[in-house]
Each structure stands twice: as structure tokens, then as C-alpha cells.
């Protein structure tokens, strides 16, 4: 009886193992599924990286093309001027030689054109429109000025246009940062000695023939 019981037990155990082996033989191991999923994710990331590299290369090519355009000869042309200026004037005390002046705040804009010639000369023509707030006065004072023209020399180096020999000394040494292949130039400055803050933007209108 004991031998028969042992024999039956072994027969049942071997049958169970075989059945398990048959069942597991047709199914994918969980770790194998995970590895396949990771492999697909890696492939997708590789494709994205490749696409980003292509996009970066295309952008760099455009940047290089714009940089190649920035040369003195290519900057010659006419630009629209859009400028903004704040002005703070402290009071001047009355004396025997000076009638005195109350404190004032000015705020105005410039509009006009700038022309850069290929020979290194240029001109600035603009009108001024705005107001002064004079302390102690009941109303605003006009800051409007009719269009005037200033001539100057200009030079370009290291991405910057510098003005010199200007007919108005205030423009001597003024610099403009050149951007977008010479399509836009900007200037920003603050002068503590006369209390002025200036922002000027030049946008290209035409190219010199």
C-alpha cells in the first residue's frame, strides 16, 4: 500500500510539473515584456533626439545666415526711429543772476528716420512730442519740437554701431546694438548728470542701392 501511495504521488507531481511547463512555455515572461517596453521607449527617445538635432542644426544655419548679413555695407539704408525719453530736472534756486526754476518732469517720444550711408556718414531726422509736468504750475507744458536733422559719422564693429562727429554733441559716442541681421537696432541709456533715460529702436525700412 505504501509503495502504491508513493508511486501515485510521484505520478501526480510529475504530471503537475509537466502541465506547468507546457503552460509557461507558450506565455511571455514578465521581465521579457518589460525589456521589450523599455526597448520601444529607447527607440522613441532616440527618434526624438535625432529630430531635435535636426531642428537645432536648421536654426544654427539660420543664425549663421543672419550673422553673415551683418557687415557695414549691408547696414546701409533707411530706418524708422521710435524713441522714448524721460527727463528729471531739479529746482534751480533764484539768485541775483538767475530767475530760478521749479522742478519738472518731462516725458516724450521721438519719431522719424535714420539714414546710414555706405560711406560711413548718416543723418537723424525726428520730431519730439510730449509734455512737461512743472511743479507749482496748474497745467502741463508742451515738450513738442518740430522735426530737426542731425548729421554724424558711423562705424560698425563687434555687433555694435557707434556714432561720432555728430552735429549735435549729445549723439557723439551713442551706440546701437544690431540684431536680426541688421533689421533692428536698439539703444538704451541713462544719464545721471542731466536726469535723462532714453530708449531708441531703429527698424529697417529700405536697403541702400
Domain with 117 in it: what CATH number? 2.40.128
All three cell numbers of 126: 525726428
84 and 139 together in one domain: yes
What would the pLDDT profile of 16-47 be if each residue is shown by its tens digit? 444 554 455 555 566 677 777 878 887 888 88
Q: Domain range spanning residue 45?
A: 2-68
Sequence-distant (≥ 6) Cβ neighbours of residue 141 within 8 angstroms: 104, 131, 132, 133, 134
Burial letters for 50-82: b for 16+ Cβ neighbours within 10 Å, e otherwise?
A: eeeeeeeeeeeeeeeeeeeebeeeebbbebebe
**What is the distance between the alpha carbons of residues 20 and 43, in angstroms, rounded to a whole number?**
35
One DSSP character per residue, 42-56 reads HHHHHHHHHHHHHHH
140 and 116 together in one domain: yes
Count: domains in the chain: 2
Which of 43, 68, 93 finishes a domain? Answer: 68
All three cell numbers of 38: 523599455
7 and 97 together in one domain: no
DSSP 8-state symbol, 62: H
49 and 137 together in one domain: no
What would the pLDDT profile of 59-78 be if each residue is shown by its tens digit? 877 766 666 567 888 899 99
7 and 76 together in one domain: no
33 and 61 together in one domain: yes
79 and 15 together in one domain: no
Q: Would the pTM count as exceeding 0.85? A: no
Of the candidates 75, 167, 71, the one whose C-alpha atom is nearest the C-alpha of residue 117 is 75
38 and 120 together in one domain: no
Please report, in tens digits, the pLDDT of each residue of the chain (209 residues total).
444 554 444 444 444 444 554 455 555 566 677 777 878 887 888 888 888 888 888 887 776 666 656 788 889 999 999 999 999 998 888 888 888 888 999 999 999 999 999 999 999 999 999 999 999 888 899 999 999 999 999 999 999 999 999 999 989 999 999 998 899 999 999 988 889 999 999 999 987 76
Amino acid at each position: 500500500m505504501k509503495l502504491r501511495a508513493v508511486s501515485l504521488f510521484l505520478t501526480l507531481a510529475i504530471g503537475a510539473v509537466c502541465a506547468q511547463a507546457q503552460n509557461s512555455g507558450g506565455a511571455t515572461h514578465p521581465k521579457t515584456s518589460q525589456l521589450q517596453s523599455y526597448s520601444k521607449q529607447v527607440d522613441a527617445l532616440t527618434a526624438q533626439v535625432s529630430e531635435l538635432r535636426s531642428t537645432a542644426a536648421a536654426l544654427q544655419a539660420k543664425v549663421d545666415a543672419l550673422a553673415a548679413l551683418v557687415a557695414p555695407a549691408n547696414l546701409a539704408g533707411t530706418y524708422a526711429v521710435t524713441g522714448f525719453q524721460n527727463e528729471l530736472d531739479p529746482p534751480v534756486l533764484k539768485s541775483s543772476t538767475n530767475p530760478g526754476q521749479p522742478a519738472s518732469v518731462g516725458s516724450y517720444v521721438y519719431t522719424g528716420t535714420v539714414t546710414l550711408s555706405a560711406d560711413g556718414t548718416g543723418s537723424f531726422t525726428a520730431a519730439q512730442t510730449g509734455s512737461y509736468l512743472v511743479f507749482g504750475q496748474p497745467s502741463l507744458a508742451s515738450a513738442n519740437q518740430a522735426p530737426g536733422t542731425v548729421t554724424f559719422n558711423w562705424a560698425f564693429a563687434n555687433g555694435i554701431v557707434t556714432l561720432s562727429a555728430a552735429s549735435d554733441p549729445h549723439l557723439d559716442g551713442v551706440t546701437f546694438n544690431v540684431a536680426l541681421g541688421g533689421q533692428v537696432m536698439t539703444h538704451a541709456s541713462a544719464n545721471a548728470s542731466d536726469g535723462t533715460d532714453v530708449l531708441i529702436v531703429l527698424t529697417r525700412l529700405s536697403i541702400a542701392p
